[in-house]
């Protein structure tokens, strides 16, 4: 935040190329927004520790915008290649994550089945008098709580697996969004 109360969209994201400290956003004495700038926090306090590092906010914005446009241009030019590459990447990543989650889900389901078997056992023990009603109630409550937690966890895992298996659609949405933002008049393919 500058003394004029303005802040840049890049505030907190800019680091000094010389000393690595954060660059702070500031305004010139006349308060002209075109002269808002970033300078090195270390340089501000200890001039001997870091040489002047200074950049106009407007220059930074132009440079970043140019990079973003170059990236979307690149995606557009090599759309098929980009799509294939992203899909490969996602497939590798989500494939591994899905495998891990499915294993976890399998373990959870095994544990739920195990609890059911144990429950049947204490139920029988209680029915034939081997287990007191008081003890049975206590164990039963533990089982129910455990069962509930395991089922909730299984539901979350199931949901996460479904989300990851839909990643391919997300890549397509990302490409379309990047391109339509940049080229709104582009003819939408049939």
Residue 18 in contact with Zn ion, rule: CB under 5 A: yes
**Residue 23 binds to Zn ion (criterion: CB under 5 A):** no
Residue 40 binds Zn ion (CB under 5 A): yes
Least distance from Zn ion to the Cβ atom of residue 87, Å: 41
Does residue 16 touch Zn ion according to CB under 5 A? yes
Question: Within the chain, where are the H helices?
Answer: 41-45, 57-77, 79-127, 133-165, 167-182
Q: Does 125 bind Zn ion (CB under 5 A)?
A: no
Task: Measure Cα distances from 144 to 73, 138, 141, 154, 170 in Å.
Answer: 57, 10, 5, 15, 38
Q: What are phi and psi of 178, to 5 degrees?
A: -60, -40
Helix (H) or strand (E) holding 5: none
Using CB under 5 A, which of the segments 44-52, 94-102, 149-157, 177-185 binds Zn ion? 44-52
What is the C-alpha end-to-end distance of the chain, expressed in Å? 47
Quick one: which of 25, 42, 98, 105 contacts Zn ion (CB under 5 A)?
A: 42
Beta carbon nearer to Zn ion, 55 or 115: 55
Binding positions for Zn ion, 49-88, rule CB under 5 A = 50, 53
**DSSP bridge pairs for 37:** 26, 56
Contacting residues toward Zn ion, per CB under 5 A = 16, 18-19, 21, 40, 42, 50, 53
């Amino acid at each position: 935040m500058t003394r004029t109360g303005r802040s840049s969209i890049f505030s907190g994201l800019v680091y000094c190329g010389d000393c690595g400290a954060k660059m702070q956003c500031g305004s010139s004495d006349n308060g002209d927004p075109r002269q808002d700038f970033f300078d090195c926090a270390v340089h501000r306090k200890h001039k001997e520790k870091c040489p002047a590092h200074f950049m106009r906010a407007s220059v930074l914005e132009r440079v970043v915008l140019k990079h973003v446009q170059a990236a979307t241009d690149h995606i557009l030019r090599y759309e098929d290649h980009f799509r294939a590459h992203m899909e490969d990447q996602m497939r590798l990543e989500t494939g591994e994550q899905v495998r891990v989650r499915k294993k976890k889900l399998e373990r959870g389901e095994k544990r739920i089945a195990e609890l059911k078997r144990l429950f049947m056992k204490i139920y029988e023990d209680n029915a034939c008098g081997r287990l007191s009603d008081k003890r049975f109630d206590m164990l039963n409550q533990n089982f129910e709580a455990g069962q509930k937690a395991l089922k909730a966890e299984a539901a979350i895992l199931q949901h996460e697996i479904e989300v990851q298996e839909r990643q391919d659609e997300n890549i397509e949405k990302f490409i379309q969004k990047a391109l339509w933002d940049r080229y709104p008049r582009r003819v939408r393919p049939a």
